[in-house]
Amino acid sequence: MDVVNQILNSESEKNAELQKLINVEKEVDVEIDEGTLLVSDYNTLTIKSGSKSLQSDLQALTRDNTQLLMNKIWALPTKTVEEVIVAELPKPKYVLPRSRKLPKPKQLTKWEQFAKEKGIKKNKKARSKLKWDDLLQKWTPAYGFKRAEADRQKEWLVECKEDGKPVEDPRAAIKTSKIEKKAKNELQRLRNLAKAKKVKIPKVGLPSTEHFKDSKQLSVGAKVAQVSTASLGRFNETPKKEDLRKVKKGKVTKKKKKSGQMKESAPKTSKKPKSGKGNRDFKQKVGTSDKKEYLSVLKEEISCGIRRKDLPTYSSEEVSQHDNPNNGIWVSYKEGVYNITDFVTKHPGGQNKIMMAAGGSIDPFWMVFANHNKSEILELLESMRIGNLRSEDVYKKTADTFDPYALEPVRSKILKVNGKQPFCAEPPPPLLVKNFKTSKDVFYVRNHLPVPIIDIENYELELAVEDDTIKTLTLEDIKKYPKYTVTSAIMCGGNRRSEMADAKPLRGLSWSVGAIGNASWSGARLCDVLNGLGVKEEDYNHVQFEGMDLDPSGIPYGASIPISKAFDPRADVLLAYEMNEEEISLDHGYPIRVIVPGVVGARNVKWCNKIIFSKDESPSQFQQNDYKGFSPSIDWDNVDFKTAPAIQELPVTSAICIPQRGERVTVDKNGTIPVKGYAWSGGGKKIIRVDVTVDQGETWHIAKLVAQDPDAKEGRHYAWTLWSLDLPVDKTKGSVEIWVKAVDSAYNTQPESFKNIWNLRGFLCNAYHRVKVDLV
């Protein structure tokens, strides 16, 4: 019994201690206002400011007064609100001062005033924003978009259907199903609007539904339907005077017109091929405003390669049987099948290139050559559509796809991107003339294929005669040769193409004046490497270079130069491993880049791993069917790339980098404005003069040549020339157009306009550079 008594006494002592914690005694009772939760303590403070226990004493005082307040709150009456017990506070004894004035009462709307006068009360059922979820054991939103997140948390286990695809994410399938259902509902909504408007919606030709949400825009869709051809959709009624068309195996043919019937002309639009492939004809009855609306619709993304219910379905095996002109040449793209038989010979990249995809898919090729993903090209391809690819073949094709651009290097943010895949970019013009040598971050980048993954430990440079390897060199072997340094500008063959395109549309990346850079390149001279191989120069005509960058079929980028240039020590051809006294960067050709000074950038092969002595030029697409010049009268419907030699040395050119087009330039007290730029000529020719005019050639001002390579020998001036001029102008004119032209050591100069040097690929763009500026 003594043990039991001890336990009971111990528990009573603990309860007494707990009771002491909530019982607080004061000499003067504190005043508590439960309405405002205010405690006023009138007892004298006995805490000394210098006391070591100041903090603990203040905390104890605060704790006691808070406990008194809590005791009062627990004694208040309670009520239940939404399953929660709350205390009912009494009216406040004191009115606490506000930090801000009371807001003015909100003015009633007309409806609220009317409802107040008539005694109309809102009859909207109150509902809670939250509800208790028994499964998640927490409060979740009862409605709104946040509710979906709670639903997803509950779907931790999703059933996989027996007929589902083995690698398909069931959650992604559910999400896709919801999106499709939403799209169908939106389409039905549009049909209802069209029905009310008494118009018809074409099956294609409309952009995404979010852009067409009113009857006015639906009218535009109807007008599009009226001027569309069969490749844009089929309709129940044929518009008056529209040409009847037949679609067979991807070919579009017109029925012959009756004799005497006038041919209706189509309006000219920019960026359309002369051959007319993929063009849409407008009818004379459609007004100008309708044409503008129609063109704005066509600017939307073309739905190419999407499954169409009005076309038959083919398997990949059936497509593979059509890989030659006799059976017809078919390809697949996404979910579509296309007959490209008639287009093969007109392919800008050459017949051999497009035939690699014959009987198969062009998806992997277009993933590498992403410049095909343009509306005019997609529209042209869709005009050759003959069917759909079987679903399981589409799935297999997608599963086997690998992104070759996944491991691209990081580039400078200052570069203006002209092409993402492959990467092509140029710097802002003012940065070009800031320094004589262009840093690697400012130097333009022109890649033709994905950047290769370099395994430097296993890197070898193969030297071969035709197909027989005679020697291999590691990077360390190349560095054992005498090191030479050459300062050379490298310029893309399409530099300033955007200006030529302004004169007449063409195909190619829209380069401004920045597809050029000047740097010092260091490495082994190619002639030193070749001289020890026992190869006779007279036995061969060309030296071919191959890079490590590959196209989808495994064919590397390639180019070639005449063998005489390769063996000539005065040509200064290098196997470079340094750029501006630093290791060459990956985007610029690490570990080895062939530097051919004075020659178009396309022959300065990056990531070089093979050199071949041959009697023939490089078989590469970029040597045979690209980087060639043609007469202005040659276009894509009559071009023959075999008739033109490959571009090697480039003509003289110049450009204005400061000021830029459209810039507002301040005229100084002497009536001049500062003008700066570069000039360069291929083949090692020196720039001897730069002329500038603001009155269309009536008077010329000679610029100062501020930077040239002082160490360059005669005939080996490979670096560019920077020039500047304080150009006299008439401020009262408000604006002027500045022209510039350069003259090289052979007294070659630039043509005045692009009219007579235009070519279908936009190369050799060296007409006067013109910049119009405003004067202030």
Catalytic residues: 347, 372, 446, 492, 627
Q: Where is 84: in which H helix or E strand?
A: strand 84-87
228, 205 Cβ separation under 8 angstroms: yes
Residues with Cβ < 8 Å from 576, sequence gap 6 or more?
Answer: 521, 522, 523, 584, 589, 592, 593, 594, 595
Nearest in space to 186 (alpha carbons), one of 170, 210, 162, 203: 210
The strand order across the sheet containing 424-426 reads 416-419, 424-426, 445-446
Beta-bridged to residue 487, according to DSSP, are 520
The strand order across the sheet containing 664-665 reads 664-665, 769-775, 735-744, 687-693, 701-702
d(CA 276, CA 700): 44
State the virtual CA torsion across 215, 217, 218, 224 in degrees, nearest 10.
Answer: 150
Residues with Cβ < 8 Å from 746, sequence gap 6 or more?
Answer: 685
Q: Where is 377: in which H helix or E strand?
A: helix 375-382
d(CA 367, CA 400): 13
Nearest in space to 627 (alpha carbons), one of 719, 517, 488, 759: 759
Write out the two tokens for 355. Answer: 């035939």
d(CA 256, CA 260): 12
Q: Distances from the Cα of 46 to the Cαs of 58, 66, 259, in angstroms?
A: 11, 19, 119
Beta-bridged to residue 141, according to DSSP, are 130
Write out the two tokens for 685. Answer: 């020719």
The DSSP symbol for 652 reads P
d(CA 489, CA 653): 12
Residues with Cβ < 8 Å from 414, sequence gap 6 or more?
Answer: 427, 428, 431, 441, 442
